[in-house]
Structure 1
Amino acid sequence: MKFSGIIIISACCLSLTSCFTGIESTPRITVKDVNREVPSVNKEADFAARLAPPGMAQWESGRRFLVTDPKLSLLFEKEPAIAPGDVLVFDSLDDEISITGDTVSVLSFHKENGNAAAETLRYKIGVPSSSLSASVTLPMSVDLDMTDNARRILAGNKFYIISPLRVDSELTPVGRGRRYVGVTIRDVAPGNADYPLRVDITDDLGNQSSVAMTVGNARSSTRNFDKLFELSDPRLRYPTITDTAWENIVNSRVAPGMTTVECHLALGAPRDVRKWHNGGSFFESWTCDNGAYLIFIDGLLAEIH
């Protein structure tokens, strides 16, 4: 009986030791670990993705492109005569073997209203079609199908503009407009190779203007929908800002007594920031992109130069 008792006690000890070891070897899950598993949600970026055109490999015959630069002709075999305003229609994407033995992509187009059989325009890219990046498009042109898609999605809808930059019908900068206010999109028109969309808007006061927009995920896509607009009213995120300060912010103005947060909203991030103490006060100076030099004392704007 004593021997049996020893065996039972030993087994229990082994069992407890095993359980104890198992608990100790399990990593602790912290709040940071949980947050790391939850991706951030950017509704505006998701919305912007709806405006992006498909990659070349997904183009269908008949896709149309507006020529914006006559130098586009240099990309085609035989350098056909192409002028800004011409419309090229996509016909097909094929793989061919080059004279060096490599597989290259060949995109075929024809001029709209032209004879497709007699005026085939061939544009070669030095990789097989399976390797074409989704961000690659026909250079020096605007994808008109992409423009039509953006118009269907945006025109007639209300959003909140967060950029003050405005352009004219030729996409030339014309100054600053109201920001963080509701706007209705009147129309979406073709832009240029750098900013393929011109978005025409009417703001909360009835002012009509336009903004230049990019699409897609290329490095040059720096003014996508999510950099220009928000889906909900940004004013609701700042309930403590007074109406007077907010009116300054929407007009890109600053005034003495505004906080650093309010000035950041009004003018954007400063180009240079310096901080120092003097006696019992905390000083901060900003050098802004518009040339303004601001001095804050204890978090409030005191001087504007």
Structure 2
Amino acid sequence: MKKKITHILMLLLMSVLPGCFTGVESTGHVTERDVQKATAEAAKHATASTLTAWHDSVPAWRPGKQFYVTDDQVRLLFARATDYDVDSIRLAGTILYYDGYDTGSMLDNRPTVNLRFTDRQHTYVYRTDKTMDEFQASYSIPMLVDMDAVHHVARQISGQDLYVKTAIWYDIATDEMLRGRQFIKVHIDSVLPGNKVLPLKVLFTAKDNGDKACLWMTDGNTLMQGRDFDALFSLRDIRRSYSSISDANWRRIVNGQVAEGMTKEECRLAKGAPKSIRQLPDQRGLREYWLYDGGAYLYFVDGILTNNRK
């Protein structure tokens, strides 16, 4: 599988870097979009999602279905069905219960659906502007997380030992970003509702030292590059796929560090895909800059790291 991905990726990169594969001595420039597009296309041809997504269309909803509220601003989306002060209502962190629907206006002979929710005290109405036949299976409401989707993913990964693929972790209590480690074994403790952007919050514990953290993740119904399950976790020990990398360099990779003498593959594992790549072929060989956010860069000569700025 790895060879297949590599082969496809090389073919796709050749299409955006013609000068680099023809011997033409010109300055090549590859953007982050080119790199990500090639990687995504290769993955699409070679793999399918490891997790199954929760598909639940509105017509199948039953009264009592639960939704977690991620942001107080959701109140601005609702039409009032009971009397309450819009400015004082606080719903973030609470559960709303689906309470059925009714049809609104009949403009253009379209019986549009109004969804009702309750917090056991007030009733809130969300006007969808859709007929019942127009709902897709992945329909969602901003700032509401379908708890059935949370439980569906939790049943698949909670209690499992996996390998985390990113060193950017988050504090469970404060949600602040942490500098973690990547490609290490972790135990998935639980899956909780997430935030208004990413609906899942995956809590885990590092198997070697007990560090606890979390990651935000999609539920499989939304496309967000780098935030789905397969971008964040692996079922298998990633180290086994890179047996040629020395233990010293692998320790650097795990901690997101690089050192002179490392290969491009090792640096990519350590730092991730660059924002852009600038290639400068000359008579002495191929010089290459990998540019990252914040002015950081990696400088390679014939594929070997010779300089870098953090």
TM-score by length of 1: 0.76
| Correspondence for 2:275 among 254, 261, 271 | 271
Matching residue's letter, 1:127: K
Cα deviation 1:205-248 (Å, max 9, x = unaligned) = 22211111121333457512122111212222212111111111
2:191 aligned residue: 188
Query: In structure 1, what is the Cα distance between the partners aligned to 2:190 and 2:305?
Result: 40
The alignment covers a number of residue pairs equal to 260
Say yes or no: does 1:136 pair with 2:139.
yes
Query: In structure 2, what is the Cα distance between the partners aligned to 1:297 and 1:40?
Result: 31
1:55 aligned residue: 57
Equivalences for 1:129-208 in 2 at 5 Å?
129-169=132-172, 172-206=175-209, 207-208=211-212
Equivalences for 1:221-260 in 2 at 5 Å?
223-260=227-264
What's the Cα RMSD here? 2.5
Residues 56 and 216 of structure 1, relative CA distance in 2, 3 Å threshold:
farther
Query: In structure 1, what is the Cα distance between the partners aligned to 2:238 and 2:215?
Result: 19
Residues 291 and 183 of structure 1, relative CA distance in 2, 3 Å threshold:
farther
Question: How far is 1:42 from its partner?
Answer: 2.6
Larger radius of gyration: 1
Question: How far is 1:40 from its partner?
Answer: 4.3
Query: In structure 2, what is the Cα distance between the partners aligned to 1:74 and 1:209?
Result: 32
Q: Check conservation: 1:159, 1:230, Cα contact below 8 A.
A: yes
Say yes or no: does 1:296 pair with 2:300.
yes
Q: Secondary structure at the match of 1:103?
A: coil
Query: In structure 2, what is the Cα distance between the partners aligned to 1:196 and 1:190?
Result: 6
Residues 87 and 217 of structure 1, relative CA distance in 2, 3 Å threshold:
closer
Residues 194 and 260 of structure 1, relative CA distance in 2, 3 Å threshold:
same
Q: Secondary structure at the match of 1:264?
A: helix
Question: How far is 1:100 from its partner?
Answer: 5.6
Residues 222 and 143 of structure 1, relative CA distance in 2, 3 Å threshold:
farther
Query: In structure 1, what is the Cα distance between the partners aligned to 2:278 and 2:46?
Result: 33
Q: Check conservation: 1:215, 1:223, Cα contact below 8 A.
A: no
Q: Give percent identity, aligned residues only.
A: 33
Residues 100 and 171 of structure 1, relative CA distance in 2, 3 Å threshold:
farther
Matching residue's letter, 2:175: T
Q: Check conservation: 2:80, 2:123, Cα contact below 8 A.
A: no
Query: In structure 2, what is the Cα distance between the partners aligned to 1:120 and 1:268?
Result: 47
